Structure 1
Amino acid sequence: MDHEVTLEEVAARPTAVVPAVTTWSEFPALWPVLSGEVWACLRAAGIDRGCRNVMLYRDDPASGGVGVEIGVELTRPCPLTGRVVASSLPAGRVARTRHHGPYAGLGDAHRAVLRWCAAHGLEPSGTRWEVYGPHSDDPAQVWTDVQYIIRGSS
């Protein structure tokens, strides 16, 4: 699949997340747990839809792992409980693409952004994120935005 990549300025967007430091091998088992905690918190506050899922990643060279924030974009304030905290998707200049189709293809979207940055002389920072479109049982209707902060822009 071809991924069109664009360079954009984005504003910070409020999120409710559970942060963690993990490894890529542990991540597939961890993210559903953290996402479940966030959604339990939102449901307790009367919110059961309208918040897009997000996964923010920051390289953590000191630990050899990756810092993650798993949660949702907040569309309205709500009380946060347990390990769920307020955060935000960063503001700044980003290289962005939209992936259409199954999540298994997200690696292609990330590689497309990195190739595009290299071809345009831009250096992505270690901060990147995915914003997930509405759930659909039809893989053709699934989309995910992949964004990388460009070094020197945040």
Structure 2
Amino acid sequence: MTEFTVEERAERPWVGVSTTGELAHWDRVNAHVPRIYAALAAAGGIPEGGPVYQYHRMRTAADPMDVTVSVPVAARIEIGEGFKTGALPAGRYLVTRPEGGPDALKGVHGEMWRWAALQGLEPAIEERADGIHWRARTEQFLTDPQTEPDRTKWAIEVAYLLK
């Protein structure tokens, strides 16, 4: 059973790249991660953790989704053309850190929705004709794949901003 918590969080600055991607071609989305870290290092910035995938618009897992691949930083910093800077909003977040790495994520999201509904919690979303628009839905990779090649051992944090 996955454990869920509700956490109050401060605003969290990031640098990254916004894109549209499909799960079938997620390697194109992942390709931004080393570029962001390299640009951040070249600008003298220091990462505050592993990459964060911010999901902005989704319909189904098979459809293209709007996502920002980002790296958390201590304060907003410009790292060059083609890169964005922003901040995850402060607020209450529903959070889980599932076991099983990226392959466990599909089931985790369904469990989060069901658990939130049972608790009377509502994710900060807006449903539109082109899909669900999230104010903040993230997956942060806490394990460096270069030090732990076994995907099933990767630590990941999933967080949804709540209304």
What is the match of residue 120 of structure 2? 121
What is the match of residue 53 of structure 1? 51
What is the match of residue 36 of structure 1? 34
Q: Is the 8 A contact 1:133 1:144 kept in 2?
A: yes
Distance change >3 Å, CA 105–CA 140, structure 1 → 2: closer
Give the aligned length.
Answer: 147
- Paired amino acid for 2:37: W
What is the match of residue 161 of structure 2? 149
Residues 36-83 of structure 1, C-alpha deviations (whole Å, 9 max, x = no match): 32122023235686532111111268xx85321102111466540121
Q: Is the 8 A contact 1:16 1:85 kept in 2?
A: yes
Higher normalized strand content (fraction of residues): 1
The alignment's C-alpha RMSD in Å is 2.6
1: CA distance, partners of 2:57 / 2:2: 23
Q: Normalized against structure 2, the TM-score is what? A: 0.75
Q: Is the 8 A contact 2:53 2:68 kept in 1?
A: yes
- Paired amino acid for 1:31: V
Equivalences for residues 1-80 of structure 1 within 5 A: 2-20=1-19, 22-25=20-23, 28-45=26-43, 51-59=49-57, 65-75=64-74, 79-80=78-79
Cα offset, 1:108, TM superposition = 2.0
- Paired amino acid for 2:67: V
Q: Normalized against structure 1, the TM-score is what? A: 0.79
What is the match of residue 105 of structure 1? 104
What is the match of residue 132 of structure 1? 141
Q: Is the 8 A contact 2:48 2:71 kept in 1?
A: no
Which consecutive unaligned segments of at least 5 residues does structure 1 have? Answer: none
1: CA distance, partners of 2:106 / 2:138: 12
Which consecutive unaligned segments of at least 5 residues does structure 2 have? Answer: 126-133
Larger mean CA deviation between 140-149 and 27-36 belongs to 27-36
Residues 64-115 of structure 1, C-alpha deviations (whole Å, 9 max, x = no match): 8532110211146654012112111221111111122321111122222111
Larger mean CA deviation between 92-101 and 39-48 belongs to 39-48
Q: SS state of the match for residue 99, structure 1?
A: coil
Q: SS state of the match for residue 86, structure 2?
A: strand
Q: SS state of the match for residue 27, structure 2?
A: helix
